[in-house]
Amino acid sequence: MMNACPNILKRVLHIFKNAFSKLSHNFERVVLFAACRPGFYKASDGSMKCAKCPPHSSSHEDGSVNCRCENNYFRADKDPPSMACTRPPSAPRNVISNINETSVILDWSWPLDTGGRKDVTFNILCKKCGWNVQQCEPCGPHVRFLPRQSGLANATVTVTDLLAHTNYTFEIDAVNGVSELSAPPRQFAAVTITTNQA
């Protein structure tokens, strides 16, 4: 009789262990498939757990599948739901011009605020102005930008084939992946130069 006790205990422990394992598994399934509370989201109805809304976003209803961005913050089409909402960058700073006859090298500092993104690029708008810098028109197609006029990854550009003894204004835009989703105004820095003799 005494020899049977250990076997009975083992069987009882085995039964309890199996029951606890099933209960724990069912509890995990309930947690996984339960609707998320406000402030959390679940991107699908699969076996994903609820995740806290990323920075600058929130959810206000149970069972949210994504989090909405705060005012003036955006999510680009290719941004995953787990990524923080971001905003356009601030304007470039400290534009420096180095004129060489009818060409100019423009350098500037990066924006203080990149909007929380790493895809900041720069676009250059060129205007040819009269002696009154308020009267300007777009530069003609003969003006060249090296390496290019838009989508610049570095904070420098060389502009060539300008007219001699002419006033030019260059506006340098800073943009990122959500700039097109936001309303104006543009975030740019401007500099006005006068070319030398060719």
pLDDT digits (tens, 9 = 90+) for 162-175: 999 999 999 999 99
Rounded CA Rg of the chain? 31
Contacts of 8 (CB under 8 A, 6+ apart): none
In angstroms, rounded to a whole number, what is the distance separating the alpha carbons of residues 88 and 162? Answer: 31
Delineate the domains of the chain, giving CATH numbers in brackets: 4-69 (2.10.50), 93-194 (2.60.40.10)
Helix count and strand count (H, E) for the chain: 1, 12
Q: What is the mean pLDDT of the chain?
A: 86
Q: Which pTM does this prediction carry?
A: 0.76
- Asked if the model's pLDDT at residue 6 lies above 90, the reply is no
